[in-house]
A = this chain, B = another copy of it.
Amino acid sequence: MPNDTKFAPRWDANGLITGVVTDATTREVLMVAHLNAEALSLTRSTGFAHFWSRSRGKLWKKGEESGNTLRVIELRVDCDQDALLMICEPAGPACHTGARSCFYRAVSSQDGDTTLTVIS
């Protein structure tokens, strides 16, 4: 229910919930990834963002290899509790490409063609 005060994440058929990471300072959307119950539990207990990698089929702490961790400042949940907003302090670029945000390309149309343009 919309005004429930009970935290009850709605896991999808694969036991995952969508996590949207924003930068606490700039409010920029940095990345989107998925959490299973263990990733959420570790995120909450350690204060650092953990996710479930669908492609690698494993739990990962963001930045465990690159050092570009995400310290979670605040965790929010949406009205139907199937998405999380993770307001974070990033230790470095959030994207594995080295971009500050994974959303570094805009979708644009020109002469009927759709192309991507790097914006940051």
Contacts and interface: CB of A to CB of B under 8 A. Distances in A.
Given A5-B116, A76-B106, A119-B76, A28 B27 contact: yes
B103 A76 contact: yes
Contact of A116 (B4, B22, B80): B4
Interface residues on A, range: 35 or more
A11 to B, nearest CB: 13
Number of copies: 2
A118 B4 CA distance: 10
A7 B112 CA distance: 13
- Which 7 residue pairs of A and B lie closest in terms of their CB atoms, listed nearest first? A27-B27, A78-B102, A32-B83, A76-B103, A2-B97, A75-B107, A85-B103
29 contacts: A2-B96, A3-B97, A3-B118, A5-B115, A5-B117, A7-B107, A7-B116, A18-B32, A20-B29, A20-B32, A22-B29, A26-B27, A27-B28, A31-B78, A32-B83, A44-B107, A74-B106, A76-B104, A76-B106, A76-B107, A76-B119, A77-B107, A78-B95, A79-B95, A79-B99, A79-B104, A80-B102, A83-B103, A85-B103
